[in-house]
Structure 1
Amino acid sequence: MIKLSGVIITFNEERNIERCLQSLVNIVDEIVVVDSYSTDNTKQICLNYDVTFIEQKFLGYIEQKNFALKQASNDFIVSLDGDEALSGTLQDSIIEIKSNWQLDGYYCNRFNNFCGQWIKHSDWYPNKKLRVFDRRLAQWEGLNPHDKIGLKDNRKAGKLKGDILHWTYQSYTEFNEKTDYFSTISAQSYYDIGKKAPLHKIILNPIWAFFKAYVLRLGFLDGKNGFVISKETGKITYLKYTKLKKLYRNN
């Protein structure tokens, strides 16, 4: 039977972290928490559990998660954010593969809770994530803040039953603030790789993002919150490109 390490990055997650830890304690053989010097009770809550708690200045989402992977004692990883938890079905699936590990990684669907509502459409579900994997064959990659695990050399991945439960924003104000924050990070990431912001992308990409989420991904079936999510999806796309254009103008 393989040994699993649960790896979590956190910053001010006192609202969610206990749920995350409780979903891991009977599944993994160790839990590693890498915290970006939280100013709330995140550290105190974590230390109530048998965890390795490491404080590390935030390096960027991709960089922080790759740093966290290196702190684990085991090569087989379950990776979560502090606002996520394993569903009961997913816990059972992971227990099963511990004694029958056959592939290089395993995808799970992520089920997002927004303002108290579980979102079943709006391009938010199924939100497939590779979160159970052999770290020797994988690494975090992508463009901040949109990190993802990539398997090396076209390794094979399977799919597990059950969901990663994700508690996102609990108010429209919080969602709006994060939209502004993440669009700034995305614009800088695009600038760093030389991606441009032509006028047609500033105009058309936000319209497409809204249409895809609300119509093609059936966001309208999620009611008012589906509209809000789809609208913010278009807004973050617009802000990303306008901020990118400003970066080129100012540099």
Structure 2
Amino acid sequence: MPKISAVIIARNEENHIERCIKSLQGVADEILVVDTGSVDRTIGLAMSLGAEVLAIEWQGYARSKNIGNERASYDHILSLDADEALSPELREAILAEKPRLGGLYRFNRLTNYCGQWIRHCGWYPDPKLRLFDRRIARWEGEFVHESLQYERGLEVKQLPGDLLHYSFESLNDHLRRVNHYSDLAAREIIEQGRHISAGKLWLSPPLKFFKSYILKQGWRDGFYGLCISAISAFDVFIRYAKVREGVIGMKDEG
């Protein structure tokens, strides 16, 4: 029977790592945690649950994940972030597929936001390709948008069940991460040489809110649907504002 290596990317994830690893036990034949500089109990908790730990310096999302995939013992990789876990239905689906495992598999991701499961706002079904043969797929990308690249034409099979994503624990947590990731996104846009016009800066945020809250029915998720839609609009605004700030700064330096 084919064997699976679960590869988890982690840093300071003591609040999530146990749930992630326990959801993989009995499904994965190896659990490898790629730790990129934790200073909390992440490493100790992972080792106590029987996971192997590979400690490396942070090298970006794609490269850090690829390092873990290369160090794994088996070719079939199940790739998770530490704040994710397999649902019982997804566990059963992977186990049922395991005897004939091969190629690429995707499954839907369901996000928990401040204790509530979010099924609208454009956040669900959020399909993710996370089970694959490392000989035919590899992570690529810089800064924020890493994606799994594979030869065009290969079949991607859909498995039932959800990948559970325990994302934001509070509104402050969401806003803090928006500030961090908007820095990375702005840097990527600047390095690509893309121009953000004043019109785009003004119009994109309200359009984002309209899409999330109205078109994607964020209102059906209640108060947190409103919060997600509003913060998503702010996210668009602040990353574009940071791009313009960065470009202006570069001109001033020149």
Deviation at 1:206, TM superposition (A): 1.4
Q: CA RMSD in A?
A: 1.2
SS in 2 for 1:136: coil
Deviation at 1:154, TM superposition (A): 3.0
Deviation at 1:39, TM superposition (A): 1.1
Aligned to 1:200: 199
- Matching of residues 1-251 of structure 1 within 5 Å: 1-102=1-102, 104-251=103-250
Aligned mates of 2:37, 2:94 — CA distance in 1: 30
Alpha-carbon contact 1:37-1:55 (below 8 Å) kept = yes
Deviations 1:196-232 (A, max 9, x none): 2111221122122111111111100000100100111
Deviations 1:86-137 (A, max 9, x none): 00000011111111225x2111100000000011111111111000111111
Question: Percent same amino acid at aligned positions?
Answer: 37
Aligned mates of 2:237, 2:63 — CA distance in 1: 26
Unaligned runs of 5+ in 2: none
Deviations 1:1-44 (A, max 9, x none): 21110000001111111000001110011011110121111011
Alpha-carbon contact 2:6-2:78 (below 8 Å) kept = yes
Which residue identity lines up with residue 44 of structure 2 in the other structure?
A: Q
| Greater Cα shift, 106-115 or 138-147 | 138-147
Deviation at 1:142, TM superposition (A): 4.0
Unaligned runs of 5+ in 1: none
| Greater Cα shift, 207-216 or 107-116 | 207-216
Deviation at 1:68, TM superposition (A): 1.6
Aligned mates of 1:99, 1:166 — CA distance in 2: 27
Deviation at 1:152, TM superposition (A): 2.2
Deviation at 1:250, TM superposition (A): 1.5
Aligned mates of 1:52, 1:198 — CA distance in 2: 48
Deviation at 1:162, TM superposition (A): 0.4
Aligned mates of 2:6, 2:154 — CA distance in 1: 21
Which residue identity lines up with residue 223 of structure 2 in the other structure?
A: K
Which residue identity lines up with residue 248 of structure 2 in the other structure?
A: R
SS in 2 for 1:14: coil
| Greater Cα shift, 55-64 or 219-228 | 55-64
| Greater Cα shift, 161-170 or 149-158 | 149-158
Aligned mates of 1:241, 1:112 — CA distance in 2: 26
TM-score normalised by structure 2 residue count: 0.95
TM-score normalised by structure 1 residue count: 0.96
Alpha-carbon contact 1:143-1:186 (below 8 Å) kept = no
SS in 2 for 1:126: coil
